[in-house]
């Protein structure tokens, strides 16, 4: 019998304490998580961890989240990519459509965040 594996979520944020907290919160809901503090780390992890979803802070130290999302999309099995950002809705640019699966404003309601992740799975 095939065992259903837990949903994998990659958290990309240079705020490491925030990332670790979110990872702990998601783990309590039986999601498997990894954290990356930079775009380079995220690109490395997407190959080995094979996440189902990526929660991506769009302001990273080494590359912008928009550029990172485009590169993550080039992966053989691209994950769903959600922007997690303090920028307001009207501050997204049109071109974000098609790059991000969704846009979640900070501070995100934890239960709503879970619902978004489960809904798309």
Partner 1 sequence: MMQSDTLGQLAVKGVQLKVLSQIFPVLRHEVLGPLSSASLAAAMLRQAPEGASDEAVQQRCERLAGDLSDMLDESVNVVRDLEGWLSDGGANVACGDLLHDCRKLMFSHLLLSHHGIRWPEQVAHADVPLFSTRYLVLAWLLCLLPLVPADTHLELDASEPGVWRARVPEGEAASERPPAFDAQEVELLATAAGWRLERQDRCWSLHLPV
- Footprint of partner 1 (CB under 8 A): 15, 17-18, 21-22, 24-25, 28, 57-59, 64, 66, 85-88, 91-93, 95-96, 106-108, 110-111
What whole-number distance in Å separates Cα of residue 74 and Cα of residue 95?
A: 16
- Is the Cβ of residue 4 or residue 88 nearer to partner 1 in the bound state? 88
Helices first, then strands: H and E counts in the chain? 4, 5
Provide, rounded to whole angstroms, the least separation between the CB of residue 17 and partner 1: 6
Residue 117: phi and psi, rounded to 5, are: -65, -40
Helix, coil or strand: residue 29 = coil
Provide, rounded to whole angstroms, the least separation between the CB of residue 60 and partner 1: 9
């Amino acid at each position: 019998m095939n065992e259903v594996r837990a949903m994998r979520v990659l958290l990309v944020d240079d705020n490491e304490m925030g990332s670790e907290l979110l990872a702990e919160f998601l783990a309590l809901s039986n999601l498997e998580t990894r954290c990356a503090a930079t775009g380079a780390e995220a690109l490395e992890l997407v190959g080995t961890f094979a996440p189902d979803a990526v929660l991506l802070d769009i302001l990273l130290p080494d590359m912008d989240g928009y550029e990172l999302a485009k590169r993550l999309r080039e992966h053989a099995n691209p994950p769903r990519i959600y922007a997690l950002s303090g920028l307001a809705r009207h501050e997204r640019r049109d071109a974000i459509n098609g790059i991000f699966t969704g846009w979640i404003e900070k501070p995100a309601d934890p239960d709503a965040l879970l619902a978004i992740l489960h809904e798309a799975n």
